[in-house]
Chain A
Amino acid sequence: SAVISQKPSRDICQRGTSLTIQCQVDSQVTMMFWYRQQPGQSLTLIATANQGSEATYESGFVIDKFPISRPNLTFSTLTVSNMSPEDSSIYLCSVGGLAGGSSYNEQFFGPGTRLTVL
């Protein structure tokens, strides 16, 4: 497995502002993902963070709202831009494709960032 950390662990933000969430892994990984988990809901994939190129976004998510960076194989950021109360959620980073792992699909999750937008 891998040790994944996220910063911040939680934040309370004002409407219209932006927040950048960091995800750090203790080993090089092939795949990094960002998920959203709205209150009482399951996980929804926002995008796949690609190292050295633009992220691949899922339907309903756009780069202007959720810009993502992945400068290397151990780090990624997700920015939630121009926030509204509807963006209040838990944002989770996950990784897959670990060296020696069984498949890209086997994902390991960070502890999440709990965001509240007022």
Chain B
Amino acid sequence: AQSVTQPDIHITVSEGASLELRCNYSYGATPYLFWYVQSPGQGLQLLLKYFSGDTLVQGIKGFEAEFKRSQSSFNLRKPSVHWSDAAEYFCAVGGRSGGYQKVTFGTGTKLQVIP
């Protein structure tokens, strides 16, 4: 069965500092991978996705993520964090073999940004 691990429940960074959120997945083949962001009281917004090709994917709001097959990881990065980035971030994995495959979400990482 597929699964996602986000080892950091809560991260605090200073505004302007760099950010890396960790995500490890378990899946039998190359999966689809996603990062979503949820601001307080809001639904989830898709930040970026990896399906195939270049393993470094660019997303919205200046985020990027790198797929590393050897490490089963898909870490999210941002070079300079803004106060508006404070939110909860979810990594998700989905199957890719024909038709719909269930998407599994990680437990989330809550990001706090301090001035």
Interface residues of A (CB under 8 A from B): 1, 4, 30-31, 41-43, 45, 48, 92, 94, 96-97, 102-112, 114
Interface residues of B (CB under 8 A from A): 32, 34, 36, 41-46, 49, 51, 90, 94-96, 99-103, 105-108
Contact status A42-B103, CB under 8 Å: no
Classify the interface of chain B: helix, strand, loop or mixed: loop
Contact status A105-B43, CB under 8 Å: no
Contact status A42-B44, CB under 8 Å: no
The 24 sampled A-B contact pairs (Cβ below 8 Å) are A1-B46, A31-B100, A42-B90, A42-B105, A43-B44, A43-B105, A45-B102, A92-B43, A103-B94, A103-B96, A104-B99, A104-B100, A105-B94, A105-B96, A106-B34, A107-B46, A107-B103, A108-B46, A109-B43, A109-B45, A110-B43, A111-B42, A112-B43, A114-B41
Distance between A103 CB and nearest chain B CB, rounded to angstroms: 6
Contact status A105-B101, CB under 8 Å: yes
Contact status B44-A92, CB under 8 Å: yes
**How far does the alpha carbon of A61 sit from the alpha carbon of B100 in the complex, in Å?**
20
Contact status B44-A102, CB under 8 Å: no
Distance between B114 CB and nearest chain A CB, rounded to angstroms: 21
Q: Which chain B residues lie closer than 8 Å to A96 at the CB level?
A: 100
Given the interface contacts A41-B107, A42-B107, A112-B42, does A102 sit within 8 Å of B90 by beta carbon? no
